[in-house]
Homo-oligomer: A and B are copies of this chain.
Amino acid sequence: MTSLMVRPDAARELQDQQVREEIHALFRSRSGRAARYGSHVADLWQAAAECVLGGKLLRPRLLLDALDALRSTGARSNAVQTSAVRIAAAVEMLHYAFLLHDDVIDGDLWRRGRPNLIGTLLSQHGKGNPLPSDRGALTQDRRRLHWARSGAILMGDLLLSEVHQVFAREHLPERIRLRLLDLLDHTITESIAGEHLDVALSDGMITPEFDSVLTMTRLKTASYTFELPLRAAAILAGSTPRTEEVLGDVGTLLGSAFQLQDDLLSTFGEAGDHGKDAYSDLREGKETVIIAHARRTSAWPEVQPHFGNPQLSTADAVVVRHLLGECGAEEFVRSLIADQLTAAHVLATSAESGLPAGVRSFLTTLTAMVEGRRS
């Protein structure tokens, strides 16, 4: 993800710094107020702040870089830039709010190669601190897990609320503010529909058909990761609805390609490249497009018994990975990514899209960077 950098290092560093300071300020103000409700709430904010500040700022960077490209020919207003940094910080917090509830739903304790908020809260109340035995019927371990998961649900709620507060209060012309609120609404609707579809697939509530899995990928990730920042930039730049629409469509294509790359990395990449357990997708039975394609091939009867087996051995996982490559699933997904990147390029550069040269150039560079990413 660090390879997605359109601007020079020094300017990038300054921009990241501004976004981090904004996120930090939001957390500081929130956790300051929370402290009056007791040390547990303060601890929760502290743990969350540490987790969220470890992010790579992909989404804020997209927003601010796109805004730069959109404004390269017009006048630059400092007020808009300040608003954009705050909206960019809020977009990163939305990402984190989604991750928190996603981790609760998936039962995950790790994220980005280290304990997530649930794992952090669990370790804060480790076995070294015995709990009183006269509380309900749950064992101490079950209660610790319940405590940590509940904290993640509630912190997700707080951050989701905070994101809306930022969008709602920004000092912007009403027309712009309402367009941003529409976009936020659209994004949340799509992302949650995607998460819901993901749960439906993994719990076996719907048949894991290829199209459903592809739709899930687009809704759950592409919408808020690429479409939201690019469209928010267009709105903040005062672009026409048509420009906003094109940027959104390019974002959907790039975001889908990006998520498919993630699926490939998780299945075929080295653990060091993506910070996850190398075979966790297989062990968890995650319904990716790779699996959806494999289901349609003659390799499936060999893959199926291992898929979703939490005790899957490394030796068996290597065999499954080989089968997924042999059956054509890897190649199929690579061609799908290539198709989406081509479509993004065509859309960004076509005359009908009518984008200014600076924006075309930005999107072309961005597309090339997604194409070339290694992690």
Q: Which residues of A contact B (CB under 8 A)?
A: 30, 33-34, 37-38, 40-41, 44, 101, 104-105, 125, 131-132, 134-138, 143-144, 146-147, 150-151, 153-154, 156-158, 160-161, 164-165, 167-169, 178, 181, 184-185, 188-190, 192-193, 195-197, 199-200, 202-207, 212, 219, 284-285, 304, 307-310
Contact = CB atoms under 8 A, between A and B. Distances in A.
Contact of A169 (B181, B200, B202): B181
Given A40-B205, A104-B153, A154-B199, 6 more contacts: A40-B206, A136-B202, A136-B308, A137-B285, A165-B181, A169-B181
A147 B304 contact: no
A135 B185 contact: no
A192 B131 contact: no
A154 B156 CA distance: 11
A37 B164 contact: no
Contacts of A188: 157-158, 161
A190 B34 CA distance: 8
A31 to B, nearest CB: 11
A157 B125 contact: no
B37 A135 contact: no
Contact of A197 (B38, B184, B207): B38
B193 A34 contact: yes
